[in-house]
Each structure stands twice: as C-alpha cells, then as structure tokens.
C-alpha cells in the first residue's frame, strides 16, 4: 500500500515539478504563473502539450526546442525528477507511519515543493520572494490544522504554531544582530519551515534550524578554504534552511533518539 501511494505521489510530483519550473522562472521577475503559456525563449513558439510531459519530452527532444533547436537547460528535467522523488519519499514516510497519516499528505506535499522552489530561486537570485512566503505560509498552516483536527490530535496545532513563531523569532533576532548574514526573506521562510516541522514535533524544528547552521557553516568554510568563494562573498542561506528542514523532516525522530541516548537520557 505504501509503495503504491509513493508511486502515485511520485508521478504527481513530476507534474508539480513542471509547475515548479514555471514558478522558479517567473516569480522572481514578478510575472504571472498562469499566463501566458510556456514558450521557447528563443523563437517564442508555444510549448505543445506533447512536448510538455515532465522529463520524457526533454529526453525525446534531446534537450532542444522542436522548432528552432535552441538548447533547453537540463535544470528543467532535474527539477521535475527531484520534485517527483521528494513527493514519493514524503508519501512513503507518511504512509508507513503507524498509523498512516493520510491527512498530512497535502500539507507535506506543499512543504517539500516549497523547499525545492525556494532553494533554486535563492541560489540563483539571492532572494526568497514574498510572493511565495506570504500566500503559502498561511496556506500551510491551514492544511496542518486540518490534518491535526482530522487525525483527532488538536494538541499538534500548538506545536505547529510554536514551531512557526519560534523559528521566525530566532532568525529575526539573528538578522537584527547581523543584517549582512541573513535577510528578511530567510526570516519569513523560517516561519514556513517552523510550521511544517512543528507538526512533526518541536524537536524537529530545533534539528532543522540547527542543522541548517551546521551544514551552512561547514560548506561556507569549505568554499572559502578551497577559494571557490571569498570571505566577503554573500552565500545564500535559504538552501541550507531547506536541507536542514528536509533532514529534520525525514530523520528528525531518529536524530533526536540518537542524541538522547548519547547523552544518557533515554
Ligand atoms: Zn525555439
């Protein structure tokens, strides 16, 4: 059963990955994601439905526009594949929980979709658009509250709200202390992540945020030591927040158990 659900979620994830490409491409430029339909950036020909099948079309066209032969970036199928894998993995995780948490599927689908979209946009533009965090943070909160109520676990709503407010407040303090190290986009994104991880548990919120700083520090030091980046270069923090959140989501309870047994508390 969990395998079937994961397979279906994976296929759905490819389609949402295709939409993620549109969002990644257009939202930083302030353009509508609904209109006009996707077109080749060189010759302007609208993409036909048969050439818009995730991953498959890119492979069949060998990464080129059907009309003018302009190369299509491999980023498009990669984003689709990653989104498919994220959806499949999340569905597998929720379906194999005991008892399975079907109600959380929409919320967690939105959660991992956002991780992917923000990571690519922040990496490319060094910004996390309000056009994403403003509508999708309350949307995630509503989906999580619905899941908690449908599962008969209203207490989880408190963890969701504490997680969101706590992560927001923590990063806000850091951003006020060191405005060059962190932007308000990161602070608002942390609220979104705190909500989603709060549903898993407050331990997952701590692991997600702490993990982001740990991974961010290690990679930043690595980039400076190998001279790929200078000491003064701005390294976007959003991707690290996303990686920390994903690790906390999928392995949070194992990490917490390992930590508690290591310090002799369990
Ligand atoms: Zn073309």
Distance from the alpha carbon of residue 49 to the mean position of ligand 1, in angstroms: 15
Q: What is residue 134's predicted lDDT score, i.e. its pLDDT?
A: 98
Domain boundary among the residues 74, 100, 126 is at: 100
Is pLDDT above 90 for 181? no
What pTM, to 2 d.p., does this model score? 0.94
pLDDT range class, residue 258, cuts 50, 70, 90? confident
Rounded-to-integer distance, Cα 171 and Cα 236, Å? 14
Query: pLDDT, tens digit, for every residue of 200-254?
Result: 999 999 999 999 999 999 998 898 888 887 777 778 899 999 999 999 998 877 8
| pLDDT for position 1 | 82
Mean pLDDT for all residues in the chain = 93
Q: What percent of the chain has pLDDT over 90?
A: 82
User: What is the reported pLDDT for 47?
Assistant: 92
For helices 75-95 and 2-26, give the axis angle rounded to 10 degrees. Answer: 140
- Of the three residues 47, 71, 100, the one that is the final residue of a domain is 100
Q: Hey, is 39 helix, strand or coil?
A: strand
* 46 Cα: distance to centroid of ligand 1 (angstroms): 9
End-to-end CA distance of the chain: 33
Number of separate domains in the chain: 2
Average pLDDT value for residue range 131-145: 98
Listed residue (50, 81, 51, 79) closest to 65, CA to CA: 51
Phi and psi at residue 34, to the nearest 5° = -95, -40
Domain of 6 in residue numbering reads as 1-100
The answer to whether residues 73 and 194 belong to one domain is no
CA–centroid distance, residue 52 to ligand 1 (Å) = 14
In this structure, the answer to whether residues 2 and 66 fall within a common structural domain is: yes
- In tens, the pLDDT along 182-202 reads 899 999 999 999 999 999 999
Specify whether 77 is located in the same domain as 185. no
Identify whether residues 265 and 142 lie together within a single domain.
yes
Q: DSSP string covering 101-163, please?
A: -GGGHHHHHHHHHHHHHHHHHHHHHS---HHHHHHHHHHHHHHHHHHHHHTT-THHHHHHHHH
Q: What confidence score (pLDDT) does residue 254 get? A: 80
Check whether residue 17 and residue 114 sit in a common domain.
Answer: no
Question: Residue 266 has what pLDDT?
Answer: 60
Half-sphere exposure of 206 (CA within 13 A, CB side): 8
Residue 256 has pLDDT above 80, yes or no: no
Same-domain pairing of 265 and 157: yes
Spacing, Cα 22 to ligand 1 middle (Å): 17
Calculate the CA dihedral of residues 185, 187, 192, 198 and round it to 10 degrees.
160
Are residue 186 and residue 134 in the same domain, yes or no? yes
Whole-number pLDDT of residue 232 = 72
For residues 83 and 149, membership in a common domain is answered with no
Domain identity same for 117 and 81? no
Centre of ligand 1 from the C-alpha of residue 124, in Å: 23
Is the domain of 93 the same as that of 135? no
pLDDT tens digits, one per residue of 66-122: 999 999 999 999 999 999 999 999 999 999 888 999 999 999 999 999 999 999 999
pLDDT at 229: 79
Cross-strand bridge partners of residue 39: 46
| Cα-to-centroid distance, 17 and ligand 1 (Å) | 22
Retrieve residue 208's tokens: 């997600």
Distance 61 CA to ligand 1 centre (A): 12
């Amino acid at each position: 059963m969990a395998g079937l659900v994961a397979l279906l979620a994976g296929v759905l994830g490819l389609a949402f990955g295709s939409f993620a490409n549109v969002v990644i491409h257009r939202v930083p430029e302030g353009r509508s994601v609904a209109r006009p339909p996707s077109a080749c950036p060189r010759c302007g020909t609208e993409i036909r439905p048969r050439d818009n099948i995730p991953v498959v079309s890119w492979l069949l066209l060998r990464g080129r526009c059907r009309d003018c032969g302009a190369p299509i970036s491999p980023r498009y199928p990669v984003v689709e594949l990653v989104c498919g894998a994220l959806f499949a993995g999340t569905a597998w995780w929720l379906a194999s929980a005991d008892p399975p948490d079907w109600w959380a599927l929409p919320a967690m689908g939105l959660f991992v979709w956002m991780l992917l979209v923000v990571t690519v946009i922040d990496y490319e533009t060094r910004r996390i658009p309000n056009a994403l965090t403003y509508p999708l943070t309350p949307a995630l909160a509503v989906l999580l509250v619905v899941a908690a109520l449908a599962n008969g676990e209203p207490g989880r709503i408190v963890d969701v709200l504490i997680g969101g407010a706590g992560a927001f407040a923590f990063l806000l303090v850091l951003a006020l202390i060191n405005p060059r190290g962190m932007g308000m986009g990161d602070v608002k994104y942390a609220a979104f992540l705190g909500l989603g991880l709060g549903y898993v548990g407050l331990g997952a919120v701590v692991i997600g945020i702490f993990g982001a700083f740990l991974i961010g520090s290690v990679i930043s030091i690595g980039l400076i030591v190998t001279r790929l980046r200078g000491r003064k270069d701005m390294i976007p923090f959003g991707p690290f927040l996303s990686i920390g959140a994903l690790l906390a989501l999928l392995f949070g309870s194992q990490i917490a158990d390992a930590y508690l047994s290591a310090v002799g508390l369990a």
